[in-house]
Amino acid sequence: MEQSEDAKRRLQEGNSVFSKSADPNMLARLAEKQEPFVAILACSDSRVDPVKVFNLSLGSAFVVRTAGNCASDPSVLGSLEYATSHLGVKAIVVMGHTDCGAIKASCECCDVDNLKSVMTDMESAKSALKGLEAKDPDQVALSNVRVQISRLLYCSPVIGDAVRTEKLVVYGAMFDIRTGVVRFI
Ligand SMILES: [Zn+2]
């Protein structure tokens, strides 16, 4: 209980610093509407914050984060469809990363019931690889980015049509935690 109180206090203190230092004109502008130029599907991993990694500011990116940057849950696809059709983003980035815990969990035993669809995706990512590559978590993470891009293109008519009519581009990317570099694939 004490630790959760500490967590809450850290967040309150952080927000106090943010709200006092944020540019009031920027906040007023953002309060009118959001106009992100990109949507990003990234992992929930605490080391993989797309807004920081791409040096973006509030309002620049519509971000969806799930374990293993998986779009298996309908709410993930729906969120990216909303960004495409209502916010008019011109690009979606699906970003995997090195040292991904979701990938590692799929190589071990993961007993989180609601992560089963994520684990199924990881198996698809592995099955696209051969031999030793299928045992390399970073190769599986890369393969998983491709699995998720296919899902966006073929399971979402909104995203698929926007790409076919050249209103939208879907990029894959890998973030290397050790170097901080994102490589577009
Ligand atoms: Zn991850």
Q: Residue 92: which of 77, 102, 103, 75 has the closest Cα? A: 77
**Interval between CA 58 and ligand 1 midpoint (Å):** 23
Both 49 and 121 in one domain: the answer is: yes
Q: How far is the CA of 48 from the centre of ligand 1 (A)?
A: 8
**What is the distance in A from the centroid of ligand 1 to the CA of 25?**
35
Query: For 82-133, how does the pLDDT look when each residue is reduced to its tens digit (9 = 90+)?
Result: 999 999 999 999 999 999 988 887 766 666 677 777 888 888 888 888 888 8
Domain extent at residue 78: 35-184
Whether residue 161 is found in the same domain as residue 121: yes
Residue 111: the pLDDT is 67
148 near 141, Cβ under 8 Å? no
Residues 119 and 79 reside in one and the same domain: yes
Q: CA-to-CA distance for 135 and 18, rounded, in angstroms? A: 43
pTM score, whole prediction: 0.93
Whole-number Å distance between alpha carbons of 111 and 93: 29
Summarize pLDDT for 45-87 with one digit per residue, the tens: 999 999 999 999 999 999 999 999 999 999 999 999 999 999 9
Same domain, 84 and 132: yes
One domain for residues 13 and 104? no
Residue 56 three-state SS: coil
Same domain (yes/no): 6, 61: no
Q: Distance from the CA of 53 to the center of ligand 1, in angstroms?
A: 14
8 A C-beta contact, residue 127 and residue 144 = no
Asked if 23 and 68 sit in the same domain, the reply is: no
Q: How many domains does the chain have?
A: 2
Do 25 and 72 share a domain, yes or no? no
Q: Same domain, yes or no, for 128 and 157?
A: yes
**Predicted pLDDT of residue 113:** 72
